Amino acid sequence: MSRVAVITLADFNNYGNRLQNYALEKLIVEMGYEVDSIVPYRPNIIKEAVKTVVRKKDVPFTQKMLQLKRLNNFLSFDKKYAHTYSINDNDFHTIPIENYDCFISGSDQVWNPDWADYTYDKMFLRFCPVNQRISYAASFGVDEIPDKWREKYAVGLSEFHYLSVREKNAVEIVESLIGKKCEKVLDPTMLLDKYMWDEIKKVPKKVHGKNYILTYFLGEKTDSINAELMKYSQMYHCDIINLLDLKDNAYAAAPDEFIGLISEAKLIMTDSFHATVFSIIYERPFVVYNRKGIGSKMGSRLSSLLEMCGLFERKSECIRREQLFECDFTDAKKAIEQEKEHSIKFLKSAIEDSIVDKMLNKQ
């Protein structure tokens, strides 16, 4: 059986990162291939993370335990569902290239220039033959590439046999760097049908049958957002679950519980791309906020998603109170199905052509 390698980043503190990797693996297996996700790591990184948490002097013991429980839940999820092959940063040259028919860079922000010093050669697949290089839904995570990286990025991008990105803005970046258009495809999480996510979804017992508003903010949750949240909670008699608040036990939720919490929420308030994606998949009302502080330059992918789905009115500055719990997903579902067909066709063709190229080169 043909084997595919997915080269990606593993962030055991980020739901979207783990779920997009699961989705891409799942789709490749459904196509009839074996798959490994190869992720770069630094030796003892997990031990370092644990030590960092334990040594924090200004964090209460209960919150430290919650952070460690969250890390353990992420690792358990990965062990259960992922085909992950971790390799030391400096040992990518030891990957048994002959064991794989093609290599896929993606998805997520594998080409973010903020960490290109560490990831460039790996995420641009410089270690394997050009005719085996595929990118699927790769993201830059920024609106423009810094001058110091433009030349190297142009070289790396031009050497891909099949090239696709996740956002409209990323298509423009590629064209500005190499003068060629590339395919825009869906994030892997959107390629799986709802019933496929139901296979792993886990709804925490404590929320069964409850009315609650779920918040998930990767950037700053401002005072105005908190005031809005409290107003909605009191007005509509809803509990509040703050997913990234160390004072809330939900902080430790595993990736499969993240899906479950979204699927049962009365309303989702977020600045997260993947929280918005799963809100759409499960047809749950949501409000999207512009991200403040950390990651504030990553808004293009969310705008691209809302534009494609015809859901721009779900942005906080556009939504009206009477629309809060009423959200029509009909056009969004149609748009996603159309893009899904195109995205799967691209991935299938890229893998098949790479397999054929490898076979021909052996002769």
pLDDT at 265: 97
Q: Which residue has the higher pLDDT, 17 or 51?
A: 17
Same-domain pairing of 298 and 347? no
Same-domain pairing of 187 and 78? yes
pLDDT at 56: 77
pLDDT at 233: 96
Please list the residues that pair with 35 across neighbouring strands.
Answer: 4
Same-domain pairing of 170 and 244? no
Q: At residue 68, does pLDDT exceed 60?
A: yes
Same-domain pairing of 240 and 352? no
Average pLDDT for residues 242-254, to the nearest whole number? 93
- Hey, which bits of the chain come out as E strands? 3-7, 34-41, 84-88, 102-105, 133-135, 164-165, 183-184, 212-216, 239-242, 267-270, 286-288
Instruction: Establish if 150 belongs to a structural domain.
Output: yes
pLDDT at 54: 72
CATH number at residue 121: 3.40.50
pLDDT tens figures, 141-173: 888 999 999 999 999 999 999 999 998 889 999
Tell me the pLDDT band of 337, cut-offs 50, 70 and 90: very high
Instruction: Establish if 103 belongs to a structural domain.
Output: yes
Same-domain pairing of 217 and 353? no
CB within 8 A of 114, min separation 6: which ones? 141, 142
Please list the residues that pair with 38 across neighbouring strands.
Answer: 7, 85
Average pLDDT for residues 67-87, to the nearest whole number? 92
List the domain range (segments joined by +) for residue 86. 3-191+338-362
Instruction: Establish if 120 belongs to a structural domain.
Output: yes
Same-domain pairing of 29 and 156? yes
Q: pLDDT exceeding 90 applies to what percent of the chain?
A: 75
Same-domain pairing of 173 and 310? no
Average pLDDT for residues 280-288, to the nearest whole number? 98
Same-domain pairing of 177 and 271? no
Q: At residue 191, does pLDDT exceed 90?
A: yes
Same-domain pairing of 287 and 346? no
Instruction: Establish if 165 belongs to a structural domain.
Output: yes
Q: How far is CA 282 from its chain centroid?
A: 17
Q: At residue 297, does pLDDT exceed 70?
A: no
Same-domain pairing of 112 and 230? no
pLDDT at 255: 98
Q: At residue 348, does pLDDT exceed 80?
A: yes
pLDDT tens figures, 252-265: 999 999 999 999 99
Out of 83-97, 114-128, 203-217, 241-255, pick the least confident.
83-97
Same-domain pairing of 281 and 355? no
Same-domain pairing of 39 and 111? yes
Tell me the pLDDT band of 52, cut-offs 50, 70 and 90: confident
Instruction: Establish if 332 belongs to a structural domain.
Output: no
Instruction: Establish if 333 belongs to a structural domain.
Output: no
Give the Cα separation of 108 and 346 in Å (integer).
Answer: 17
pLDDT at 89: 79
Instruction: Establish if 248 belongs to a structural domain.
Output: yes
Whether 156 contacts 124, CB under 8 Å: yes
Number of domains, the chain = 2
